[in-house]
Amino acid sequence: MGLISGFLSVLFSLGRFGPFNFLKYLLPGVTLDVLFFLKLRRGWEGALAGAVSNLSKLGVNLIIGSTLGIPLNFLMIGITPSILTYMIFGALGGTLGVEVANKVRKYYQRMS
């Protein structure tokens, strides 16, 4: 998932980070793919996986900023307020993802 979304973001030039945009989608996607193998079944597990995956995007922002030579204290001033919103929306997305996956799983079990 991370490779595909990263490749498409670079291919269609989405975002303002140029070639770094690939990393912005790759790391959260790989994180989510790794966490997917834990077979998440409950909402709180999805919330944790979504929050961790979304927070990895902030890690990419730190990598990009330090690569461009921006001082770390300046980066932290900009990123720190975003931590809470990244966690909240990642957790919401993860919870919804697990709920949808459970519904789809139940549907296919009934069909077979």
Give pLDDT tens digits for 74-93. Answer: 888 888 888 999 999 989 98
Distance CA 10, CA 18 (A): 7
User: What does the alpha-carbon distance between residue 32 and residue 91 come to, in Å, rounded to a whole number?
Assistant: 12
Q: Is the dihedral of CA 39, 45, 49, 50 positive or negative?
A: positive
Report pLDDT for 44: 84
pLDDT tens digits, 94-108: 888 888 888 888 888
Task: Note the pTM of the prediction, 2 decimals.
Answer: 0.74
Q: What is the tens place of the pLDDT at every residue in 26-84? A: 888 888 878 877 777 777 888 888 899 889 888 888 888 888 888 988 888 888 888 99
Virtual CA dihedral for 109, 2, 91, 54, nearest 10 degrees? 170
- pLDDT at residue number 35: 81
Residue 6 pLDDT class (50, 70, 90 cuts):
low
> What are the residue boundaries of the structural domains of the chain, listed by start?
2-111
